Structures are given as structure tokens and as C-alpha cells.
Structure 1
């Protein structure tokens, strides 16, 4: 699943797509293969996440990269966060300090 970053950003980008023309909820829903209510619910905040294929279709039709509008949610993010160990973090800090001259 992919979570919408900000609903106001989606609304703004729908007003001015890559072509400069606005896109209607009905058109975006049709292109993404979802109901109009799905797009409407994203815009109102009643729905926050959509499957990857839907997120990709929305972003592509609007003319932006997927990660401009959506962030992945789910298990893989949690695993990434918990896999960073304190030793790894301190090694990164140490390396940064050496690069800065500290």
C-alpha cells in the first residue's frame, strides 16, 4: 500500500498537471481504474492509502514521480528502521565527523 503524502498536494497537482490542464476526479478515477469515490476520499482524507498500481497510475497521469505524492507503508519500512543498530548509527556519526574535520 502507498499512503498519500498530502491531500492538498494532490488537489493542487490535479489543478495543473504536466500538460498545464486540470484533471477532473472522474478522469483521474477512470485512468487509475478506481471509483470516483476513491479519488474523492483521498482528497477529503477519508482514505489515506491505495495499492501500488493505483498510486502509480495517479502519479503518472498527473505527471509527477510516484514518491512525490505517495510513500510506501507496511512491514518493509518497519524492518528498515529496526535493522539500523546503534553501532551502525555511531559509525555513521563518526565518519561524518571525520569528513567535517572533527
Structure 2
């Protein structure tokens, strides 16, 4: 590698070198990651597996819980009973209602 007289470079030249170095580093890391993935896939294939076999199926998010409670005056406002209570539930409880009063009739 050649010696560079850093003090002789302008700010613009230094910033250009910095951008080029960041691109080169990102490219290098991407190539290394790709090589590592290929090596792991080859090792798994030698043993008769795929990466999906070894890593398992991707985890799926749990489905959204069905609403259990509804606002007495606005049935569009619902709550599943999980997580924090919505403000309308808190207000109803403070005004003397119970959670049973807010249950969705089935």
C-alpha cells in the first residue's frame, strides 16, 4: 500500500476517500457473508440437510386475539382482554361498571 500524505489532502478529498472506504468495507463484508453462507449450505448438503432443515421453519406471529369486550355505546371499540386496558375500559370501570358488563354478547 502506498503512503498517503493525509495533511496535503483537502476536506473534500478526505470525505471522498472516506466514502470509497465505506463502500469497499460494505462490499467486503457482503462477499464474506455470502462465502460463509455458501460454506454452511455446502456442509449441510454434505450431511443431507438444507439450512431450513437445520434452522427450522420460520416462526410465525401469533394470530390476533378475538375481541372479548366492547364499548357499550360504540361497539366498534373493542378489547381482547390482553395487554393494557384501553382508556374507555378504564373509564367504564371508574364509573362503576365491571368487566362482565362490557363482555361481548355471544
Q: TM-score, normalised by structure 1?
A: 0.24
Q: TM-score, normalised by structure 2?
A: 0.24
Where is the strand percentage greater, Structure 1 or Structure 2? 1
Higher relative contact order (CA 8 A, sep 6+): 1
Where is the helix percentage greater, Structure 1 or Structure 2? 1
Larger Rg over CA atoms: 2
